[in-house]
Amino acid sequence: MSTIRVETPVIADLGKLFKAHGLSKKSVVLFDEHTRKLFGDSILKQLQEEGFQFKELVVPAREASKSFGVAFRLYGSMIEADVDRSWNMLVVGGGVVGDLGGFIAASYFRGIPVIQLPTTLLAMTDSSIGGKVAINHPLGKNLIGFFHSPELVLIDPSYLATLPQREIYSGMAEVVKYGFIADEQLFSFFERHFRDITRLKEPYLTEAVKRSAFIKDDVVKKDFRETDGLRATLNFGHTFAHGLEKLAEYRYLRHGEAVTIGMVCALFLSHNLGFLNQESLDRGLALLRKFLFPKGVLNRRFLAIEGTMLLESMFSDKKKQNKQLRFVLLNKIGEAFLLDENVDDQQAINAIADAQKLFSQELMR
């Protein structure tokens, strides 16, 4: 299982750290174009000073890089550079390169170690942890992949200083999710410090990142292959979100934006089915309101969606089993569960309508 280190600067003494974890000082370093430009020089300089041998790889900064074609090209560069099983892969960037680099590491020479150095809030608190790595197939997202745990996850929240606001809010959706599903105390920390965190104020930012990362790690350790429903609770809001993302053709909505809307729907569903009381519903919605619900186009898009259309899109979600949608619901703030029984279509549609009502009120404000 992986070791997670949260520190600024996290790359100090990298050589010693690698050695302590049985990793060689031979690294393929994978960036996307943005992270290469922003952090490449300083990271590669550090590796050089510590006596590393390294091979640099750069891919375009877009979801389409998580493809077999790109992976295949990178395998070629690695073979040409004589990269063998004694090497490891250090990935610097968001979830896109994290998933791609993890996929390559899991398959290259039957598997080499991967070290994640996440640079988006989403990657620091979610995608770099837990060992799910994948590329996309034209027929669906994340369909081809492995469980390949990173040897190390190196988190340095100061890397977020250059991250656009939209990406911060997108990552914040997953951060807030951990409060909802697992930790009421953390939830109230978010209620008090939401703005401090999204403005990257310390010590709140590091505290939020650390606690989120460790909740994810803890859940994954207890249910690595998602067999007993615990890991599935990480998908709170995601059944709705995946349907929305699909409708938005994975282009107009960031994942976290879809998750924010999805969590609103999931809160209403939890309440309407009698699991979540009114007070907790109101508390949950109040926190999600702080997300400055995507205004304008995105918001109108969501309002224009027919509940039945969204439901249909949700049914094509890969997490369906026996054609039944699986929903993660809340009993209370800080306690989620995977509902085993079928949810009546009308209930899901009602929850979507409740969320739309809330959004249209927000638009009027």
Ligand X SMILES: NC(=O)c1ccc[n+]([C@@H]2O[C@H](COP(=O)([O-])OP(=O)(O)OC[C@H]3O[C@@H](n4cnc5c(N)ncnc54)[C@H](O)[C@@H]3O)[C@@H](O)[C@H]2O)c1
Residues at the site binding ligand X, with contacts judged by CB under 6 A: 32, 34-35, 38, 61, 63, 66, 93-96, 99, 119-120, 122-123, 126-127, 130, 132, 142, 159-160, 162-163, 167, 170, 255
Q: Which is nearer to ligand X, 120 or 270 (CB)?
A: 120
* DSSP structure class, residue 127: I
Shortest gap between Cβ of 200 and ligand X (angstroms)? 11
Shortest gap between Cβ of 188 and ligand X (angstroms)? 25
**CA 296 to CA 363: how far, in whole Å?**
8
Q: Is 147 exposed, middle or buried (0-12, 13-18, 19+ CB in 10 A)?
A: middle
Give the pair of three-digit tokens for residue 135: 């590329």
* Structural contact between residues 213 and 155, judged by C-beta atoms closer than 8 angstroms: yes
In degrees, rounded to 5, the angle at the alpha carbon of residue 106 between the alpha carbons of residues 102 and 110 is 155
Shortest gap between Cβ of 172 and ligand X (angstroms)? 11
Measure CA of the first residue to CA of the last residue in the chain; give whole Å: 48
SS3 93: strand
**CA 105 to CA 135: how far, in whole Å?**
12
Shortest gap between Cβ of 166 and ligand X (angstroms)? 9
Q: 10 Å Cβ neighbour count for 195?
A: 10
Q: Which is nearer to ligand X, 212 or 280 (CB)?
A: 212
Positions annotated as catalytic residues are 110, 132, 174, 216, 226, 231, 235, 238, 242, 255
SS3 137: strand
**CA 79 to CA 64: how far, in whole Å?**
23
Q: Which is nearer to ligand X, 177 or 210 (CB)?
A: 177
Q: Which residue is nearest to ligand X (CB)?
A: 95
Q: Which of 95, 136, 138, 137 is nearest to 116 (CA)?
A: 95
Give the pair of three-digit tokens for residue 202: 């310390």
Q: Which is nearer to ligand X, 245 or 354 (CB)?
A: 245
Q: Which is nearer to ligand X, 163 or 264 (CB)?
A: 163
Q: Which is nearer to ligand X, 126 or 183 (CB)?
A: 126
Q: Which of 148, 126, 339 is nearest to 232 (CA)?
A: 339
Shortest gap between Cβ of 99 and ligand X (angstroms)? 5
Shortest gap between Cβ of 123 and ligand X (angstroms)? 4
Give the pair of three-digit tokens for residue 26: 């031979």
SS3 202: coil
